[in-house]
Structure 1
Amino acid sequence: MAPTSAGLPSFVERRPVQDDDFIYKELKQLFMIGEFVPGQKLTLPTLAAAFGTSQMPIREATNRLLSARALEAPPRRTLCVPDATTERMDALLPLRLLLEGEATRLAVEAKGTELVAELEAINAEMDAKVPHEDIKAYLRLNQKFHFLVYQSCGNAELIDLIELLWMRYGPMLNIVRSGVLSKSGHTRHLEVVSGFRKRNPEIAAAAMQSDIRDAAGPIRQAIEDGLTERRRAE
């Protein structure tokens, strides 16, 4: 991993590909797994230093993140990660449930039992991270589990929409980076696998939606608790 500036996640060292494309993909991945904090301020010089590159490819990559609404640029053009609010969650969560449920249903119809062994292996890896409280690795594996399913749905437009939602939703995971997420994931993932094993799209889709809802509960509670604390401090 390349050394990075304070307050930023670790970035993978640059590879021999076009800078802005690589940087965008790296930032996109980090947004999707909750490596950035809601409300976090980002500057082009800081990101350029973290990646060891100039500001030009950073500007191109962050413009794509702005277009995806994963980043915001309030007055004075300071880039920032959107705040975590119940309103934002209420806007994004129903869309995730709808689209990810449909992608799961289509994946079962397309793949049947083909994904069972690989999904079980990922879930076992996730279980192994829980005792060590390796939440970063756990969230990466969780994303791998979900997108193995979604990328098997046969609908590229649907996958793109789901990725956009994850980029916008991901930073909210940062406010509950503790073992609480892993407690619900294991059972729901087993239910998803069961749906594939039985070739039952509805079982798998319902389990995936339940997994998303279960993970959303602690996030909503953390947002509401934070709001209560701020009101008390006023």
Structure 2
Amino acid sequence: MTTESTASRTAFSPDTASTRLHRALRVRLCEGDFTPGEVISIRRIAAQYGTGTMPAREAIRWLVTEGALIFSDSRKIIVPELSHDRFHEILFARKNLETEVSRQAFDNIGATDIEALERIDEQINDAIAQGDLVSYMRGNYQFHFHIYRLSQSQVLLPLVEILWLQYGPSMRYICTRWGASSIADDYHREVTQALRRGDLASFCEAIAADIEQGMLLLE
């Protein structure tokens, strides 16, 4: 399973330092490696990834156009802080788009994929038990996008990825605030059980329920 984005712009871009860095930063944002309000330093990013400042600047500006980062003034780039209403709206959009992407992926999910999802879910459960939010966020992203990429959607998948770019940092903040107990009841087991039964309706219902759990944290 790859962690690279399949968004159309990335997929059809040349393999350059800036596109590789853009893909890496996208994954980190989706996994919650950055926090709302965090200042992003072009020089620090360039140093972390061993690139020049020009590729780092291009990758970060690309993320700004996707809404993952914003300019707080002419010289500062930050991870945006989402309001309660906007975060709720993102989760609402996720529920609808991701359920449809999952439906499109269903026929492409084979036995090896189900086994991979079950392994990821075990790692997620271990992370929850240990209160390891970093590993939880990483595993949750991997679980969902293992499914979504199998849809091979060129329209909906890029939209889902953009929603996750905005969702990841704020969800990490919420999980950090409420602790491991806030994420104890995910629906990943129901997802894999439905896949083993070949039950499309229950599979999509479990995906939707898993996303709704995030909405309940906002109430």
Shift of 1:87: 2.2
Shift of 1:110: 3.4
Change (3 A) 1:50 1:118: closer
Listed as ranges, the gaps of 5+ residues in structure 1 are 1-16, 222-234
TM-score (norm 1): 0.79
- 1:88 and 2:86 aligned: yes
Q: Is the 8 A contact 1:89 1:169 kept in 2?
A: yes
Q: Is the 8 A contact 2:28 2:34 kept in 1?
A: yes
Change (3 A) 1:109 1:194: same
**Considering only aligned residues, what root-mean-square deviation do their CA atoms show, in Å?**
1.9
Amino acid at match of 1:74: S
- Separation in 2, partners of 1:58, 1:18: 11
Residue 131 of structure 1 aligns to a residue whose secondary structure is helix
The Cα offsets for residues 91-148 of structure 1, whole Å up to 9 and x where unpaired, read as 3111100111111122223336563222212111222223322221221111111111
Equivalence for 1:183? 184
Residues matched between the structures, number: 202
The Cα offsets for residues 188-227 of structure 1, whole Å up to 9 and x where unpaired, read as 1111112212222221111111111113322x25xxxxxx
TM-score (norm 2): 0.84
Equivalence for 2:192? 193
Change (3 A) 1:208 1:76: same
CA radius of gyration, larger in? 1
Q: Is the 8 A contact 1:110 1:152 kept in 2?
A: yes
- Separation in 2, partners of 1:180, 1:159: 30
The Cα offsets for residues 31-83 of structure 1, whole Å up to 9 and x where unpaired, read as 00111111212232332333343211111101110111101113324111111
Runs of 4+ in 1 over 6 A off after TM superposition: none
Q: Is the 8 A contact 2:109 2:147 kept in 1?
A: no
- 1:147 and 2:145 aligned: yes
1:72-87 mapped onto 2 (5 Å cutoff): 72-87=70-85
Amino acid at match of 1:141: G
- Separation in 2, partners of 1:28, 1:83: 17
Listed as ranges, the gaps of 5+ residues in structure 2 are 1-14
Give me the identity figure in percent.
Answer: 27
Considering Cα pairs closer than 8 Å and 6+ residues apart, tell me whether 1 or 2 has the greater RCO. Answer: 2
Q: Is the 8 A contact 1:33 1:173 kept in 2?
A: no
Amino acid at match of 1:214: Q
Change (3 A) 1:208 1:118: same
